[in-house]
Amino acid sequence: GQQVMQIPQYQHVQEGEDFTTYCNSSTTLSNIQWYKQRPGGHPVFLIQLVKSGEVKKQKRLTFQFGEAKKNSSLHITATQTTDVGTYFCAGSGGYQKVTFGIGTKLQVIP
């Protein structure tokens, strides 16, 4: 079945440093979604990428979808303490379910 791998699992950064998490799928994806889960909370949808090579920005967050639609990345510029949480990618092959990556837990040291 479809597998979505995400690295790193954990990342500690100093406040102000950049952060990137990477997502790779074993199969070509129809789309990829990114979610953020704050400590103690539930995952919240951030964005969806659909087109090959697509790049989207949300303030300090930049999301990319690979040309082959098998990988994606989330980059945060100049992290802040409010960025703390676990970031999940979720890939869909076009069916009723999505496959979540294991998540990257981000800690920001003030």
Partner 1 sequence: SQTIHQWPATLVQPVGSPLSLECTVEGTSNPNLYWYRQAAGRGLQLLFYSVGIGQISSEVPQNLSASRPQDRQFILSSKKLLLSDSGFYLCAWRSAGQGRQPQHFGDGTRLSIL
List contacts with partner 1 (CB under 8 A): 6, 30-31, 33, 35, 41-45, 48, 50, 88, 90, 92-103, 105
Q: Which is nearer to partner 1, 19 or 88 (CB)?
A: 88
SS3 99: strand
Minimum distance from residue 30 beta carbon to partner 1 (Å): 6
Torsion angle defined by CA atoms of residues 19, 66, 36 and 102, in that order, rounded to the nearest 10 degrees: -90
Minimum distance from residue 94 beta carbon to partner 1 (Å): 5
Minimum distance from residue 34 beta carbon to partner 1 (Å): 10
User: Do β-strands 104-109 and 10-14 pair in parallel, antiparallel, or remain unpaired?
Assistant: parallel
Q: Which is nearer to partner 1, 98 or 108 (CB)?
A: 98
Q: Name the residue among 97, 65, 106, 89 with its Cα closest to residue 5.
A: 89
Q: Which is nearer to partner 1, 7 or 77 (CB)?
A: 7
Q: Residue 1: is it exposed, middle or buried by C-beta count within 10 angstroms (0-12/13-18/19+)?
A: exposed
List the end-to-end C-alpha distance of the chain, in Å, as a whole number.
41
Minimum distance from residue 78 beta carbon to partner 1 (Å): 26
Q: Which is nearer to partner 1, 26 or 30 (CB)?
A: 30
